Amino acid sequence: MGSDTIWIIGSNMTRFGKHPDKDVVDLAAEASRMALKDAGISLSEVGVLGVGNLMNAGAGIGQQLQKQIGQTGIPVFNVSNACATGATALRVAIMAVKAGETDVGMAVGVEKLAGAGLLGQRGPKPESETWQPSGRFGALSSTEGRIGTSIMPGVFAQVGMEYGHKYGGTSFELFAKISEKNHSHSTLNPLAAYQKRFTLEEIMNDVMIAYPNTRPMCSGNCDGAAAMIVVNDEKLKSLPLEVQKRAVKISASVLTSDPYVDGCQILPDVNTLTRNAASQAYEQAGIGPEDLDLVELHDCFATAELVHYDNLMLCEEGGAVDFFESGAPWRDGAKPVNVSGGLQSKGHPIAATGIANIHEIVMHLRGEAGDRQIEGARVGLAHVIGLGSACGVHILEKVA
Amino acid sequence: MSEAQEKEITETGGKIAFVDYLILDDPPYLQAQECTSCGARYFDRRNACASCFEDQFRSVAIDQEGVVTSFSIVQMGPIPYVSAVVDCAGTSVKCTIMNVEPSPEYVTLGMQVKLMTYSMGEDSEGTEAIAFGFEPI
């Protein structure tokens, strides 16, 4: 237990789903106040605030949040890093505490997306009288549909299909089964946006969005917020025993971006940066994938979950299909993955996701996950990836 | 419109390519910018090489034929389309697969395809825009 160990002492999230009566700041305030209450500390003790929000990235949501929960004059870092925004906000809080700038940090991720539709889709450009090349490709109009797709369901469909081309064994049915698992898991999660179990047939016969992803195989746009309080070792020791007992150790906290690889300009490479982040995290934590009791990974689409089994080294290289078919990632399997329901079923309020998936691990390590508790869980990993790309991996351990 | 673009339209008989990297020669081909230092290839304009940070590039022609290494059938709009990654002799190309039923019965991983071009129509000055796709061989 080194002096630079960082602990989570407070963690909470709002229900994911539709919150028509609350704005972004309401949701952030709700999650923040619940996390502070969970930690049993006052906002006056918090020395740094990292706030993630993607859809209003220039709006200073952190300061807006302070106006509603307390203006203490501490430094605020408003961050935006695609789907890794929440994990990035937490990284900021952890780094500030690690650097010795403060003993207590708070991270918040919040998004309102219900009804936002498909992200990455752009409306048609205004018609011009003459062809006008623009942008770095000198394109005469939107390239969407003319030169493949840049819309998320299609991009991530191709990520899964590429894996299939490389290693074989994938099929529409296999990807649908991954979704069946996550929709089954979320029936036990009262905070999930969707808590309805789908049969494999229902999933396969639903509206096709981008083959092989049907609608239930895509992450659900919804509203939500999650917040977390982190402290250093010294601060933890000064806190009441009941706080210390529930504290969860952050054994690794890693953020990577996508290094250059051949073809990454054509199909974003979500694999290398995830593998790099996982390798660094396992090294930092001094543990391996075999030690993990549960994993929350970024299943923004069913096709994405498959490749991350491999990228996070939960299986042999190329062995993700066999890993899934062995039953391992089901909640009663050898390596439960996305017992919260994942992004497909718990929902994906973008900037909240990277903190909410860590919150899920915290709940299990504390033994407070209720009906969906993975018994005896002591080590967990949370992963997010934002296209562009940014990847966050956190490994948490129960120590007390 | 820049002088260079006007010149190009004149030289290609009143035609303009949908993107800069489609070269309307006979036959048309795709052209990448290859880093002279490490060989990384780009289709868009780059300030420096993302792989080795050098800033000298040369134009190279991409093979006309390739293999589909990934695809998705995008069905979010009124007309479904096949988005694919095609490996053209080691260079990955992003494209739409044309002249094929947008159905997994007809589009398969490992499928052999070749470059094709088609008209996007004329603008008010009579300039015809030409786009590219790949089609099954």
Class (C level, CATH) for A152-195+252-398: alpha beta
User: Which chain A residue has its CA at the smallest distance from B107's CA?
Assistant: A211
Whether residues B70 and A161 touch (CB distance < 8 A) is answered with yes
Residue A281, C-beta contacts closer than 8 angstroms, at least 6 positions apart: A252, A253, A254, A381, A393, A394, A395
A220 pLDDT tier (thresholds 50, 70, 90): confident
| pLDDT digits 0-9 by tens, B98-121 | 999 999 999 999 999 999 999 999
pLDDT at site B11: 58
Q: Spell out the domain ranges in chain A.
A: 6-115+222-250, 152-195+252-398
| pLDDT digits 0-9 by tens, A296-337 | 999 999 999 999 999 999 999 999 999 999 999 999 999 999
Whether residues A137 and B84 touch (CB distance < 8 A) is answered with no
Q: What pTM does this model have?
A: 0.94
Does residue A2 have a pLDDT over 60? no
pLDDT at site A1: 40
B9 pLDDT tier (thresholds 50, 70, 90): low
| CB-nearest partner of B73 from A131, A211, A266 | A211
Q: Spell out the domain ranges in chain B.
A: 3-136
User: Which chain A residue has its CA at the smallest distance from B92's CA?
Assistant: A263
> What is the complex's ipTM, to 2 decimals?
0.92
Q: Do domains A6-115+222-250 and A152-195+252-398 have the same CATH topology?
A: yes
| CB-nearest partner of B104 from A132, A146, A172 | A172
Tell me the average pLDDT across B48-63. Answer: 97
A84, A396, A379, A111: which is closest to A255 by C-alpha?
Answer: A84
Q: Establish whether A83 is a catalytic residue.
A: yes
Q: What's the fold here for domain A6-115+222-250? A: Peroxisomal Thiolase; Chain A, domain 1 (3.40.47)
Does residue A381 have a pLDDT over 60? yes
Tell me the average pLDDT across A46-53. Answer: 98
The total number of residues written for chain B in this structure: 137
| pLDDT digits 0-9 by tens, A123-139 | 444 456 899 999 999 99
A274, A285, A339, A340: which is closest to A312 by C-alpha?
Answer: A274
- A215 with A206: CB under 8 angstroms? yes
